[in-house]
Amino acid sequence: MFTGQEYTHRKLVVGIGSALVDILAREDDEFLQKTGAIKGGMKYVDKEFIELTMSQASKKLTMVPGGSACNTVIGIGKLGGHARFVGKSGKGKIGGFFEKNLRKNNVDPVLFKSSSFTGRVLSIITHDAQRSMFTFLGASSEIQPEEITKRCFENAAIVHIEGYLLFNEDLILAALNAAKEAGALVSLDLASFTVVEESKVLLKKIVKDFVDILLANEDETLAFTGYSDEIKAVRSLSEHTHIAVLKVGERGSYIAHAGKIIKIKPMVTGTAVDTTGAGDLWASGFLFGLVNGYGLEKCGNLGSACGYEVCQVVGANIPEQGWQRIKKYWRNHGEKKGVSIPEKRPE
């Protein structure tokens, strides 16, 4: 593990995960039931299922680059940070669209190539702003453990891993080991309560052995810890990691570190248009703050600002006006408080 002094010289955040394109559909609960979706959850399907479901949509669909870790590093790039994304994309226009968008948003792409189709997610957004997902991993599922080496994470302060990689044990272990060899801290977002439920044994081992920063929403935390009480839940999340984050939507968030719990107020209360990417963009602000030496409360406030803005639009792409509001807020509230992460993991 690098020291605090070295940490101040490392600003790069590297995300690793599925290279996916998000297809956004605004529909009602009746449509959701017809598709067999898990409300607020995610199901893996084939490309044909997504195409069939798209053909039944009642409204115009929107396509944007996606994937949890990808959303997070794009947010860091938009904040003016140093960001890289590691994944595997496929043939055709969608793969080119994905890579071009990374570069446009100041993210360095490390994309292994496949002859398969690029992965995609059909995200059905209902009137309560919940998103229910069907995922076709495509080329992203073909990334091999041996492709993930220390070089992927060279000069990284933090390697941010999406929880969906838990479905491929060899791959996530390769990423974790390579991140540690590169001297980076490991951040893990639990991604979905369905991921936690299906990978709980592996997840507990990984958190204990590798993870420095653990991020989860209330559904994921309940599945992982068994606690619905917010204070008990975030304290349980933090048992084997430096920093634990519990995001509780419009009620704000909690950050647990070194036996203390910080309550982060929501940016603004009100109705969300769409919660797609809310957790991913919260992580953008939080991790950007960490690598730039801000205290945990300031990092949480920036995360809250990013999470709020993305909930005001459909999809995970904050428009330029939103980024300007976030940066203005940060100029007014972002005094530095020093590096907040311990130099090594607790025994």
Q: What confidence tens digit (pLDDT) does each residue in 133-153 have?
A: 899 989 999 999 999 999 999
Q: What confidence tens digit (pLDDT) does each residue in 302-336 have?
A: 999 999 999 888 778 899 999 999 988 888 776 55
> Is residue 154 in a domain?
yes
Residue 180 lies in domain = 4-19+68-117+144-333
Res 345 pLDDT > 90: no
CB 41 within 8 A of CB 81: no
Res 7 pLDDT > 60: no
Residue 163, Cβ density class (10 Å: 0-12 exposed, 13-18 middle, ≥19 buried)? buried
Mean per-residue pLDDT for 201-211?
95
CB 227 within 8 A of CB 246: no
With bands split at pLDDT 50, 70 and 90, how would you rate the model's confidence at 270? low
> Is residue 128 in a domain?
no
With bands split at pLDDT 50, 70 and 90, how would you rate the model's confidence at 346? very low
Res 251 pLDDT > 50: yes
Give how many domains the chain has, as a whole number. Answer: 1
> Is residue 156 in a domain?
yes
Nearest to 117 by CA among 148, 93, 86: 93
> Is residue 253 in a domain?
yes
The predicted model scores a pTM of 0.87
The C-alpha atoms of residue 58 and residue 3 are separated, in whole angstroms, by: 55
How would you list the strands of the sheet with 213-217, edge to edge?
A: 107-117, 82-91, 12-16, 156-162, 185-189, 213-217, 243-247, 253-257, 260-264
Mean per-residue pLDDT for 11-16?
97
Vertex 177 angle, CA 173 and 178, to 5°: 115
> Is residue 315 in a domain?
yes
**What is the model's pLDDT at position 266?**
86
Q: What confidence tens digit (pLDDT) does each residue in 159-201 have?
A: 999 999 999 999 999 999 999 999 999 999 998 898 999 999 9
Q: What confidence tens digit (pLDDT) does each residue in 272-313 have?
A: 787 778 899 999 999 999 999 999 999 999 999 999 999 888
> Is residue 197 in a domain?
yes
The CATH number that applies at residue 224 is 3.40.1190.20
The C-alpha atoms of residue 32 and residue 188 are separated, in whole angstroms, by: 29
Which backbone phi and psi does 155 adopt, to 5 degrees? Answer: 70, 15
Check residues 48 and 9 and name the one with the higher pLDDT: 48
The C-alpha atoms of residue 263 and residue 59 are separated, in whole angstroms, by: 39
With bands split at pLDDT 50, 70 and 90, how would you rate the model's confidence at 344? very low
What's CA 242's distance to the chain center, in Å?
A: 18
Token duo for residue 198: 């299906």
Token duo for residue 256: 């647990």
Q: What confidence tens digit (pLDDT) does each residue in 75-124 have?
A: 999 999 999 999 999 977 888 889 999 999 999 999 999 999 999 999 99
What is each CA distance from 31 to 54, 108, 269, 276, in whole angstroms? 11, 38, 28, 18
> Is residue 136 in a domain?
no
The C-alpha atoms of residue 255 and residue 204 are separated, in whole angstroms, by: 19
